[in-house]
Structure formats: structure tokens, C-alpha cells
Amino acid sequence: MTEDAGDKSLSVTRDMDIEGSRFIYRMITDKSVKILDYDYKRCVGCGICVGLCPTKALELGPMKEISTGLDAPPVIMDLDKCTFCSMCAGFCPVDAFKMTSEGDFFEKGDLPELNTYVRMNEKCLPCAICRAACPEDAIDVEFTFQKKEEIAPLKDKSGGDVKGEIEIDTDKCNFCGLCAQFCDAFLLVEKEPTPDDPAPFELLLVDEDKCDYCVLCQDLCPEEAIRVKGERRGEAPKIEGKLVVDDSKCTRCTWCQAVCPYEAVDIKKPFTGEISLINANLSKCDPQGCHGCFNVCPSHLWYVPDDGNSNIAIKQDYCIYCGACVNACPKDVMKISRSEVSHTDIPDSPWAGQWRDAVGSIKTGERHYPDISRTLETEKEPPRKHVEVEMPDIDPSYLEAAKKRLEKAGSLLSSAKYRKGVEAKAREAGEGKGEAAQE
């Protein structure tokens, strides 16, 4: 690879390591080290990177088999073709590709990438619902308020002098879990969230053997769903804590937004679009035997309805329109279309056109690849103006005379004796010229 017009050259080497489920690709030059980290267990096989890659270095694996149990990378790379341009890393909706570099490379912000987020706004308490509902375990909550034992230690109830009553108003309780975080007397009963019912809890129980009716839980409850008759012992703490979303796990599926009773979750998805079921193929779907779409979907939006009217159903609000299910389905049961791609600005640069084309292809599916053949094409010559040529007039008598002479010459040439005589005269003439030249 030539660095400039002089004698200097740039040495480029590539290598690959495997660490668990991660393929570590490297491109090492005299000026930089670029590392592309691909976690194939994180990859869902949506194929967006395959369509984006300007050198066709990425290829989609056998997704129908992978989605039903084959342990193989959903995306396969030809390292010799990869230019480490970072398109795959910048636009992977599940962060299966990550690009890092040392040395001479673009700074963050110089290259476009998906612009997505999950943010908790000022309405967040925080509580424990979203953490329990998240299908990717991407949410963690650290509560910093004091627990009941620190404010009012449990009284000894063996003497029978601790009396009171506690009641939960199930119409008001939203299972936020704050009471259970505050006091060990409360127990939230979990259930398996489903797309059509994502709530992670179904019941709140009170172990009255651990309750001394201190009234603090009543004061703490944000929904006023707890009523206690007893002796108030101290002051309930202010609800405080820190909620953290792990971007390396979060897929922007919106389950947290769906279960939050306080409208405290703001989400920007990578894509907007539409997912729909193809009714003509629904009867071919076998969700119990296949389960391919369930296994690859990063949004966990597929479920089998209880009504018996359909083999399979979706919760469209959760979809990020990645298209992994389309690649996985052996029966073409669903289709995806994308109308918008949420991304950072494309800087004005010589390669801006390729980035615009790549981003546009996520919506249209049509990719115009750059010419890397290193061949030159000449400009096409414009069509010439047609010029009419006027044929000359021919005198028939001259044409007849020429025809007779050609016929006479033809008869002479057909005679072997005549041809030999002509050849002999030609030789004599040639010898005479040679003697004259010598003199």
C-alpha cells in the first residue's frame, strides 16, 4: 500500500484472535492499530452490517439453522477484504460490533453512527419495576435511602405487646417494589413477563411476623396503597437511588417504558418502520417446533396467543425493525420495512456520499457499492452525425466495356501456359534490376 508519491510505503498486516464468543480482528499499520471486536453471541443476524459493508467483506451465515440451535456466527468476515471503515460497528443495533483504535484514526464524531438512547426523566423515583421487567438484564438500580432496620429496628414481638394492622390496597398498588426494598416484611411475587403482559410482579405479600406496624411503609409508599394501624416510629426516608442502563446490553426494546407507571422512560430507537405478518403464510408457522423468531428477536416481541385464532402474534411497539426474524423464518411469515434511520450527522467529506448511500440502503435495501476494481474507463464517444453520401452516376456503356475486359483477363489467367510466361518475364525483369544496381 503506497503512502505517497515518494519511496515511502505503509506496511499493513491483519490478524485475528478468538476469545470466547468474540472474534477480535486487527489491522496494524505503521501509523495505527484498528481493532474490530465481534461478539457472535450478541449478534442476532439482522444482516444490516452485511448490506452496509462497502467491500462485501461480511456475509450472513445460515440464519435459519442458527436461529433453531446451530452454534455458529451469524455473520462471517473475510478479513482480507475488510478496510476497518467502522460502518458495521457504527450501525449495529445490538452493539455486536465494536471498533477501537490507537494512533492515526478518526475521532468519535467524525464518523456517523446510530443515535439512540434510553433515559430516565425527572419523573423516575426510582423503583424496581423496569429492572425486573428488562428482558436483557440491562437495568440496575442502586437504592440509597435508609432501610427500616436502620431507622426503626424490628421490635421483639414475643411478649405480645406489639399490636397493629396492615393492609394493601390492590387497586392502588402498582408493584413498584419500594416497600420491599425498605422493609423485609414485604415480599413481591414474581411472574414470567410476556410481550402482551410485561409486568414482572403479580402479588405483594406481607409477612406480619416481620412487621411491627411502624407506619413508615405507609409514609414511604408513592401510591398511598398501604394502610397501617400502629405506632409511628420515626420518619420515612426520601426515596433516592441511582438507575443505570447498560448500553452494551440494552436493545431499545421499550419493555421498561411499557411497564413504567410514571412515564419516566424516554427512548429513541435506532429505526422506525413497520413489521407485519403475512397472512397467507401464517398457517405454515410452527412456533412450538421452530421458535426461530423468538430466539433471535432482540425485542422479545413474539408470543403465542391464548385465543387459538393464530399460531403466532407480535407486540409491534417493542420492535426495533432490525429484520433478524425475517432472516430466521423458514416460512416467510413476516416482513419488515424501515422508514427512518436515527443517526448522527454525516460530516462534509470526500466519503460523505458513500455514507449517505449506505445509510439510505438501510431503508431502501439498495446499495451502490464503490468501485474498488482499480480499472479505468474511457469516456463513451458521442454518436456522430450521419452524413448522406451521394453515389456517382455510372455510364452503362463504360460498365459493359469493363465487364468484357475482366472476362478476357479472366480467361487468360486461367491458362497455366500464360501464367508461366508472365512469371518468367517478371523474373527476368528482377534479375536485370539486380545487375544494374551492382554496376
Residue 282, in any domain of the structure = yes
Residue 266, in any domain of the structure = yes
Same domain, 137 and 233: yes
- As for how many domains the chain has, the answer is 3
Same domain, 34 and 138: no
Residue 388, in any domain of the structure = no
- Closest by CA position to 174, among listed 118, 133, 228, 139: 133
Counting Cβ atoms within 10 Å, is residue 282 exposed (0-12), middle (13-18) or buried (19+)?
middle
Rg over alpha carbons for the chain, rounded to the nearest Å, is 40
- Domain with 311 in it: what CATH number? 3.30.70.20
Residue 170, in any domain of the structure = yes
**Residue 157 in contact with residue 210, Cβ under 8 Å?**
no
Same domain, 139 and 162: yes
Residue 375, in any domain of the structure = no
3-class DSSP assignment, residue 22: strand
Counting Cβ atoms within 10 Å, is residue 256 exposed (0-12), middle (13-18) or buried (19+)?
buried
Residue 382, in any domain of the structure = no
**Residue finishing a domain among 307, 341, 375:** 341
Domain assignment of residue 138, given as a range: 121-244
- Domain with 20 in it: what CATH number? 3.30.70
Same domain, 126 and 107: no
Same domain, 230 and 134: yes
Predicted confidence pLDDT, tens digits, the chain (439 residues):
434 434 467 788 999 999 999 999 999 998 889 999 999 999 999 999 999 999 999 999 999 999 999 999 999 999 999 999 999 999 999 999 999 988 776 666 788 999 999 999 999 999 989 999 999 999 999 999 999 999 999 998 887 789 999 999 999 999 999 999 999 999 999 999 999 999 999 999 999 999 999 999 999 999 999 999 999 999 999 999 999 999 999 999 999 999 999 999 999 999 999 999 999 999 999 988 899 999 999 999 999 998 877 789 999 999 999 999 999 999 999 999 999 999 999 988 888 999 999 999 999 999 988 776 666 666 777 888 877 777 777 788 888 888 888 887 777 777 777 777 777 777 777 666 555 555 5
Same domain, 127 and 109: no
Same domain, 152 and 227: yes
Same domain, 53 and 144: no
